[in-house]
Structure 1
Amino acid sequence: MTALDTPIVRIVVAEDRAPVRSGLDAALGHLPGVAVVGTATHHAQVPPLLDRHRPEVLLLGLALPGGDPIELTRAVRTEHPATAVIVIAVPPATNEQVLPVLQAGAAGWLPPAADRDTVIRALRTVVAAGAAPTRRPSSRDHRNELTAREADVLGLVAAGLTNAEIARRLSVSEATVKTHLNHAYTKVGLQNRAEAVEYAKRQGLGPAHGSQPD
């Protein structure tokens, strides 16, 4: 088995900015089990590449010229349901920019400078999920399974804060925020930030007044 525990994962990179592509090449270039089978620098180039290669993953630049990433994501999810869309968003990307694409069907998002381990985790998650996020929170109440800090973090995500803003709000490191989020995602059965927002709002989660870091 490969590092991704799956046969070759084919990836199409749709990103017009050369420095961003270089960063992705550096992260993807030496990953076993991964093959970049096409590169697009304009929205019009994406559909033919998907038709030709049927990739497992499309890395889609949020600012790719020539079209709307929301509409393209919807089209991919309709016409190529086996292809997961991961948005490439250069920080500081706001929830207002990323969330609509996630709601349109993207499986998640990555900064272009994501390190190798982050890229592996993202690819493993979407490949294991079979492209379309099919895991959903069950009807069982998971609130008692979350720690107070995990619930706080989910509530702040729903309030629109970035990981960095949550870290400052709770006086913890950004890495700690990511750890709490990963644990919460696993416990509740969430695939991405959009699902976390929906779950937190549905459960009425929010930061407890005066809560202290774990």
Structure 2
Amino acid sequence: MTRVLVVDDQFLIRAGLVGLLRAAPGVEVVGEAADGAEAVALAARTRPDVILMDIRMPGLNGIQATERILAGAANEGDGPAPRILVLTTFDLDEYVYGALRAGASGFLLKDSGPERLLAAVAAVGGGDALFAPSVTRRLVEAFARQAGTGVGDGAEPPPDLAALTTREVEVLKLIARGLSNLEIADRLYISEATVKTHLNRTMTKLDLDSRAQAVVVAYETGLVTPGG
């Protein structure tokens, strides 16, 4: 059972999402929030597996809420952090980039159909942290040059990659290019399980929360370049 928290400041959108999710097998809606502050409080109390997070909200926005929820989960250290799926009205959104930079697992357009929404929740809940690699890569390429210039509140500089092994760097490059684990395994002549191991070690060394965040880091550090 995937436990989901729904966050959106527009009542009709939030109610529609809740109704759709409640009708889906294998999904339990553990709460709904109308703003970022309420989302942070509910996430701490209900410990959802997945959070559908509206990105543009008055007061505490989706970027700030994402940062606080993931920081709170890290401080608690009790079980995995929730995977945050950002909801947006258009894909090339610098707010979404800020949320991915903060550790969100991916994003979904609000006009996506019910099947795509449920597939996204299932994918993210199952650990597939990058739901749409090609679209996410395009978003990151569009805004990576703005790294450290105020995209999101309190944006931190990208981490140093010196701690990574040569193979971990290779895997990170290919992840940033939008390749799946299976495609990376074929490219490097290693097993898919080995790819996952390299990725997990990379994320641990760089203190990252999601695969999407790893893509952001790859661009911000210059490991890969837009259009390269």
Structure 1 length as normaliser, TM-score?
0.60
Q: 1:60 aligns with which of 53, 57, 72?
A: 53
Q: 1:62: Cα distance to partner?
A: 0.9
Gaps of 5+ in 1: 1-7, 136-149, 162-180, 208-214
Overall identity of the aligned pairs, in % = 25
Q: 2:223 aligns with which of 202, 206, 210?
A: 202
Cα-to-partner distance string for 1:114-149 (whole Å, 9 max, x where unaligned): 22332233223322229xx5x9xxxxxxxxxxxxxx
Relative distance call for 1:21 and 1:202 in structure 2 (3 A) is: same
1:80 match: secondary structure: helix
Matched, 1:87 2:86: yes
Instruction: Give the structure 2 partner of residue 184 of structure 1.
Output: 179
Structure 2 length as normaliser, TM-score?
0.57
Q: 1:27: Cα distance to partner?
A: 3.8
Q: State how 1:147-186 maps to structure 2 within 5 Å.
A: 156-160=138-142, 184-186=179-181
Q: 1:71: Cα distance to partner?
A: 2.2
Matched, 1:124 2:122: yes
The code of the aligned residue for 1:103 comes to R
Q: 1:54: Cα distance to partner?
A: 1.1
Q: 1:55: Cα distance to partner?
A: 0.8
Q: CA RMSD in A?
A: 3.5
2:17 match: secondary structure: helix
Relative distance call for 1:184 and 1:45 in structure 2 (3 A) is: same
2:70 match: secondary structure: helix
Structure number with higher helix proportion: 2
Relative distance call for 1:154 and 1:67 in structure 2 (3 A) is: closer
Cα-to-partner distance string for 1:14-68 (whole Å, 9 max, x where unaligned): 1111232244235423211111121111223223322321111111111222213
Distance in 2 (CA, whole Å) between partners of 1:154 and 1:68 is 20
Relative distance call for 1:60 and 1:66 in structure 2 (3 A) is: same
Instruction: Give the structure 1 partner of residue 159 of structure 2.
Output: none
Instruction: Give the structure 1 partner of residue 98 of structure 2.
Output: 100
Distance in 2 (CA, whole Å) between partners of 1:154 and 1:58 is 18
Relative distance call for 1:204 and 1:159 in structure 2 (3 A) is: closer
The code of the aligned residue for 1:160 comes to A
Distance in 2 (CA, whole Å) between partners of 1:96 and 1:32 is 34
Q: 1:112 aligns with which of 107, 110, 113?
A: 110
Distance in 1 (CA, whole Å) between partners of 2:88 and 2:117 is 14
